[in-house]
């Protein structure tokens, strides 16, 4: 495990580094199917853009963006983040992308999310983690609920993609709810 930050059973999370831009990562954001439910795939994403983005992360305190890497074969399969971190309100927005299609539906997204939630609540002392997803993204909705998140509501026609507007559903989990989920799992 190279530069592991958070370690799970099947995956580990590490800081994105420049070499990630030389791999598959930029192609994920140029793939229409991979980005079907994301705000990406609007403008072409280049290696140069990836290099600049990765470098910018090192200076920011409002985001933790980590690579999801398989322990078995050390493959970078996606990214996970806590964005818009507010130290005042003790909250953050959660986002996730498993870009390597060979690693879909294997439980890696849930494992990575659980690691990130533990870090957010137990290490960063957050009180609330939230996410939004398009109303057509059933996989993310299922993941959010499996993590103990609750549906808060709907933002009508928030996203314009594929020539039409989509609603987004908002989910969140509070620290006390996370603690309850954790106690049930142990």
Instruction: Dump pLDDT digits (tens) for 67-102.
Output: 999 999 999 999 999 999 999 999 999 999 998 788
Q: Residue 114 CA to chain centroid, in angstroms?
A: 11
DSSP symbol at 9: S
Q: Assign domain 4-185 one CATH number from 2.20.28.270, 3.30.565.10, 3.40.630.30, 3.40.50.620.
A: 3.40.630.30
Q: Say what the pTM is.
A: 0.91
- Using alpha carbons, select from 97, 67, 81, 169 the residue that is nearest to residue 129: 81
Q: Which residues pair with 159 in a beta bridge?
A: 166
What is the tens place of the pLDDT at every residue in 46-62? 888 899 999 999 889 99
Residue with tokens 């070499």: 19
Structure tokens at 145: 């609920």
Report residue 171's pLDDT band, with 50, 70 and 90 as the boundaries.
very high
Distance CA 76, CA 11 (A): 10
Distance separating alpha carbons of residues 157 and 1, to the nearest angstrom: 42
pLDDT of residue 137 exceeding 80: yes
Q: Which residue has tokens 């280049």?
A: 46
């Amino acid at each position: 495990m190279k530069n592991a930050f958070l370690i799970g059973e099947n995956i580990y999370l590490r800081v994105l580094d420049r070499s990630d831009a030389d791999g598959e990562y930029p192609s994920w954001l140029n793939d229409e199917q991979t980005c079907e439910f994301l705000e990406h795939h609007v403008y072409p994403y280049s290696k140069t853009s990836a290099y600049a983005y990765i470098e910018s992360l090192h200076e920011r305190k409002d985001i933790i963006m980590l690579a999801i890497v398989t322990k078995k074969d050390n493959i970078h399969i996606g990214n996970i983040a806590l964005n818009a971190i507010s130290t005042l309100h003790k909250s953050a927005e959660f986002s996730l992308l498993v870009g390597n299609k060979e690693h879909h539906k294997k439980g890696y997204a849930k494992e990575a999310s659980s690691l990130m939630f533990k870090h957010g609540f137990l290490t960063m002392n957050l009180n609330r983690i939230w996410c939004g997803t398009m109303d057509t993204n059933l996989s993310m909705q299922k993941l959010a609920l499996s993590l103990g998140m609750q549906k808060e509501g709907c933002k009508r026609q928030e996203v314009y993609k594929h020539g039409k507007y989509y609603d987004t559903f908002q989910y969140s989990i509070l620290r006390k709810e996370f603690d309850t989920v954790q106690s049930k799992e142990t």
